Structure 1
Amino acid sequence: MAADSSLPPLSLIISSTPESTLYLSNALALLFEPSTLLFSDLIPELEATLRKPTSAITTYTALIDKTLEIIRAWPDELKAKFVGAHPRIGEVKGLSAFSAKEQGQANGNAGSSVAATSPMVLERLAHLNACYERRYPGLRYITFVNGRSRAVIAEEMEGVLGIPHSLSLDQPPAEALGVVEVGSAEWRSELNRAVEDVGRIAKSRLSALGMQ
């Protein structure tokens, strides 16, 4: 299901009309990235919450907060799948409109294209993604870019991985990194950090649309 390029009035989402599910689906796909899990699990659970008499969702910010509250309560496996719906840092193909814009802004120029990033930086990021996904099995590195360059994000990833900054594109070998046990405190901490950054990205998108 493709998301529309704008958000519907919140009143259409919190109504009990048959169309409200479509409006909610389009809104969340725009703010959080479309995924099978979003449509199969998140939308029904969020709808059930919105239909309760005690629901007091009056802004999109509150809707995002409620969405995050639901995701935080999910088992780790679902959280990881949801986070994995966001593209890897440095990807240039198959991006949603918002992801493409955010990746383009990460070059340091809000009007530049994704392809403007140095090929060497993209290659380094691809290697760091492989390193991260070896170290944290089942996770994908997600961060709130917030206008920072991809080169800066590469250095951030090196810090998260505990490896020194390197101008080499493929060092250290991914196989040289230790593997963090799935479900361990460190693994879950990284997973929960990613969930919170997904929420920050959603609120940034909301702001970019001039809404709150």
Structure 2
Amino acid sequence: MSTINRLPPIGDVPSLPTSDRAAILDQLFEPSTQLHTLSVPLLHEETFQSYNDLISAVGAQLTDLSESASTSDTDWLRSILGSHPRLGAKKVESEQSQAEQAQLQGGGEEAEQLRKLNEEYEKAFPGLRYVVFVQGRGRDVIMADMARRIEGSDIKTEQSAAIRAMCEIAADRAAKLV
């Protein structure tokens, strides 16, 4: 798979090779074979006015999966949402996630607390990862939000929150990559 450091002009996307369209998705979201299968054809079939329009269209696809009664659609969606790294993880594959989570790195008691919150979240919401737009938010704010969501949410609400967060993250990435 090719990697890209800048996004091509939005008008060029439909004519790009499949590998380049997949690389765009990887840059905006996270590497995910399931997301490639779902959205690479969309990037070929549709013409978008902006990357925000492209991100909205992918978000609509994810929302359709979340609203489906099909177990396979639910599993597919959770696989895509699970492609995001755990917050504060030591090993993060994507360069974008590494940069975005830089302020969450650290050691000691807070790192252990974040690790435990990730475990609690994934136990409360099987198949999901806690996904949130972290840019400019401190570890304490994010951990408080995570704890609140563990206590007061359900899996459907969390799927919707994760889709919104993925699209917010993608929009921020697009703004930096164009």
Which TM bucket (shorter chain)?
A: 0.7 to 0.9
Say how many residue pairs are matched: 171
**Per-residue deviation, 1:42:** 2.4
**Per-residue deviation, 1:143:** 0.8
Question: What SS does structure 2 have at the residue aligned with 1:73?
Answer: helix
Amino acid at match of 2:56: D
**Per-residue deviation, 1:76:** 2.2
Question: What SS does structure 1 have at the residue aligned with 2:11?
Answer: helix
Distance 1:2 1:191 in 2: 29
**Per-residue deviation, 1:157:** 1.2
Aligned alpha-carbon RMSD (Å): 2.0
The answer for unaligned runs of 5 or more in structure 2 is 66-72
1:176 is matched with: none
Distance 1:190 1:11 in 2: 33
Spell out, residue by residue over 1:60-93, the C-alpha distance to the aligned partner (whole angstroms, 9 max, x if none): 1111111111121123222211110010111121
2:22 is matched with: 25
Amino acid at match of 1:5: N
1:63 is matched with: 54
2:9 is matched with: 9
Which aligned pairs between 1:1-212 and structure 2 lie closer than 5 A?
Answer: 1-15=1-15, 19-44=16-41, 46-47=42-43, 49-50=45-46, 55=47, 57-74=48-65, 75-104=73-102, 106-107=103-104, 114=105, 117-162=106-151, 186-209=154-177, 211=178
1:167 is matched with: none
Identity score, percent: 32
Normalized per residue, the structure richer in helix is 2
Spell out, residue by residue over 1:2-32, the C-alpha distance to the aligned partner (whole angstroms, 9 max, x if none): 53222122232123xxx43232111111000
Distance 2:173 2:116 in 1: 28
Q: Which has the higher contact order (CA 8 A, sep 6+)?
A: 2
Spell out, residue by residue over 1:79-133, the C-alpha distance to the aligned partner (whole angstroms, 9 max, x if none): 21111001011112133110010011x35xxxxxx4xx23322211110111111
